[in-house]
Chain A
Amino acid sequence: QKEVEQDPGPLSVPEGAIVSLNCTYSNSAFQYFMWYRQYSRKGPELLMYTYSSGNKEDGRFTAQVDKSSKYISLFIRDSQPSDSATYLCAIRDRSNDYKLSFGAGTTVTVRA
């Protein structure tokens, strides 16, 4: 079993829809939770990070963490064609701060 599971999709939504992405993880020692966005033929870039259960908002993006269920989510409101990308969750545990465990990535297409 992989440490981080993420449905690779692909996911296609119309412009303006809410995009919902999620990952599950198995290691309860995981402490830092991140979402990276990767455009086609580019390197991943950090979108959001959080280290506590609950919600964190940044503009149209909301990251949600439920440590009791080992479940993290990313919501994109009012999605735009420019949000079309692959979204990877990345998680880090407290004993290996520097090692990120990545999900497989979910490819999202927002149709104009």
Chain B
Amino acid sequence: DAGVIQSPRHEVTEMGQEVTLRCKPISGHNSLFWYRQTMMRGLELLIYFNNNVPIDDSGMPEDRFSAKMPNASFSTLKIQPSEPRDSAVYFCASSRGLTQETQYFGPGTRLLVL
């Protein structure tokens, strides 16, 4: 079984540009989570979906961040406009359901905003 797939793996962009991160969860998993990891703040939950519906986006830092899940096999996290402080590793994770203990993480997208 191919794990959670994220693309791109690395992204370097200039301040003000739009950034779109993509995630394909594990087939059959109903819940999807977007996290951000930085040295200063550690691993933070940004938003999560259950059955393609956003459940809680209270972790999204600003209106510049948005996430969608148009179907069970695809989700995007968009930053527009990007700022240098958005530089971080963004992880997508999926699980069979919201109450499942095991979240499976993707390899992450390393974002650098210059």
Contact = CB atoms under 8 A, between A and B. Distances in A.
A104 B42 contact: yes
B80 interface: no
Interface stretch (A44-52, A57-65, A66-74): A44-52
- With a 10 A CB-CB cut-off, give which of A42, A98, A99 has the most chain B CB atoms: A98
A19 B67 CA distance: 39
Which secondary structure dominates where chain B touches chain A? strand
Interface residues of B, number: 24
Contacts of A49: 101-102
Contacts of B33: 98
Interface of B: 4, 31, 33, 42-45, 48, 50, 55-56, 91, 93, 98-99, 101-108, 110
Interface of A: 32, 34, 41-46, 49, 88, 92, 97-100, 102-105
